[in-house]
Amino acid sequence: MKIGIIPTVTEKNKSIYYSIDKSLLTFLNNLFIKPKIKVLNDFNVELYDLIVSSGGNDLLKFSKQKKDKERVKIENYYLNLAIKKNIKFLAICYGAQFLAFKFGGKLTFDQNHVAKNHFIFSKNENKFLVNSFHNYKIIKISKKFNILFKSEDGSIEAFRHKEKGILGIMWHPERYKKIKKFDVKFIKKYL
């Protein structure tokens, strides 16, 4: 499997840096058999089996920093490539917020989701405990997506495009000491 990861973009001394959390690499290496992984920061047209939008950064709605502008350029390019070429797209935390906003959803500031664990609920499945590391929660999503899970406060925690292989999740499956069976089963089921 060939996987491209959209990196977190940081800025230091007016220079832009791209980074991938090592735990995300470990998670993907455990989720798939011997994946070939590449950091996507060069706007190439190479085809992938999966593009992963990692956590980090802020949406331009909330920040006008150079690093966030760069992240949005990369995010837009690879999301459009995924849609055009029918490439599966997994959006984690920031990536899910980006998807929601890009398709006309609404987000709101909420510090109750920062560095905490909470339950998510589905109409068809039991509740699950997930981590949370975001300042903004999704409160409305485009009708192009099915909502899969919500949190106790009603915010949208997981959603999937009705026609494309695009999955957004607000928690970080890669940030657990041990990979959770729920995350593996869930991601494989909905991608």
Catalytic residue among 113, 118, 134, 172: 172
Residue 6, CB half-sphere, CA atoms under 13 Å: how many? 32
Residue listed under structure tokens 């006008």 = 64
Residues 161, 167: Cα–Cα separation, whole Å = 7
Residues 8, 84: Cα–Cα separation, whole Å = 23
Residue 93 to residues 13, 36, 159, Cα–Cα distance (Å): 27, 23, 12
Coil, strand or helix: which one is 138?
A: strand
Catalytic residue among 75, 118, 161, 174: 174
The answer to whether residue 46 is catalytic is no
Catalytic residue among 75, 93, 113, 161: 93
The answer to whether residue 172 is catalytic is yes
Q: Could you count the other beta carbons within 10 Å of the beta carbon of residue 62?
A: 15
Residues 6 or more apart whose Cβ sits within 8 Å of residue 153: 110, 112, 137
The answer to whether residue 75 is catalytic is no
Residues 15, 94: Cα–Cα separation, whole Å = 22
Residues 6 or more apart whose Cβ sits within 8 Å of residue 150: 120, 121, 122, 156, 157
Which positions are catalytic?
A: 93, 172, 174
